Amino acid sequence: MTVDLNDIALFVHVVSAGSFAGAARHLGIPPNSASRRIQELERRLNVRLLHRSTRKLTLTTAGEALFERSKTHVEALAHSVQETADDGQSPGGIVRIAAPVDFFSLFTLEWIAEFLALHPRVSLDFQLSDARADLISESIDVAFRAGDVLEPTLVKRVVGSSPLWLVAGPGYIDKRGQPATLEELSAHDCIVLRARDGKSTWQLDGPSGQAHAEIRARLSANTMQAVIRATLADIGIALIPLIGMVEHIRAGTLVRVLDQYQVEGTEIHLVYSSRRHQPKGVRAFIDFAVTKLPLAGSE
């Protein structure tokens, strides 16, 4: 019996990706070719390796045994090939990055231009979505996430944390004045994320602990970037992460309101599947990102 070792490696990629399409995308081959090659592998081995359905792939007992025996060897071989290819070369290739829609209010396009100038052989492919990306099935190299990282298999690095401040544009303050107390917020126009029925409540940390402010949401939007732009247009008062508006505060195009109140920020994580087997381009982007963001280097 002769078995093509490339088909064994393909089988490992399919199982790791959770689909023929994900593995094919990662390897740069048509999905139907991947499926046909695994069928041929099963024929040669005279055993079924995968249960196929329209929803997902599951391993048979034989498939699970083959995967466990082969995975480490395939990864080690891939690592050896990658190290050989990387030797003596500057970082190159495409780095696929998943991030929230409002990512570029956190990580400036000027930084992106700086990175690309430093690494002319690297290309960046951003997948911007507020949905949480599956790094394996979507072939993502690096992802930025706010809050907890639940997957135990992912490496995470804390690269930022930011409080939320109450802010408004100077034009709005000139027209409506500064609220002197938390209760006065209810008489002001406010801009919020995803308000329902024009009503919302802000839970804030103040001098005496947690406080609640009933507000009137005159405008709501589903991205923070839209909230920031509306605030800059003097539409109302908003609760915005400091990390997304530092330059506006410095320039005076946004001013703080009721500065004794804020919301403690959530941690921002840079996550990736492994420290091992990373192409130089991916390592270069990770190293660059953690030097730019506020809490670079924490793990």
Q: Hey, what domains does the chain have and what are their CATH numbers?
A: 5-86 (1.10.10.10), 93-156+267-292 (3.40.190.10), 164-263 (3.40.190.290)
pTM here is 0.54
Mean pLDDT of 88-107: 83
Give the chain's mean pLDDT.
84
Mean pLDDT of 133-141: 84
Contacts of 54 (CB under 8 A, 6+ apart): none
The number of CA neighbours under 13 Å toward the Cβ of 230 is: 22
Greatest alpha-carbon pair distance for the chain in Å reads: 83
Q: What is the pLDDT of residues 13-48, one digit of tens each?
A: 888 888 888 888 878 888 888 889 999 888 888 899
Residues 27, 10: contact at Cβ < 8 Å?
A: yes
User: Would you state the structure tokens that stand for residue 113, as one six-digit string?
Assistant: 């231009």
Q: What is the pLDDT of residues 277-293, one digit of tens each?
A: 678 899 999 999 988 88
Mean pLDDT of 256-268: 88
Mean pLDDT of 121-127: 94
pLDDT of residue 76: 67
209, containing H or E segment: strand 209-221
pLDDT of residue 81: 59
Q: H helices within the chain, ranges in order? A: 5-17, 20-27, 31-45, 61-86, 109-118, 170-176, 224-232, 246-251, 280-292
Q: Which residues of 191-222 are buried (b: 16+ CB within 10 A; e: fewer)?
A: bbbebeeeebebebeeeeeeeebebbbbbbbe
Among 142-151, 218-227, 243-252, the range scoring the smallest mean pLDDT is 142-151
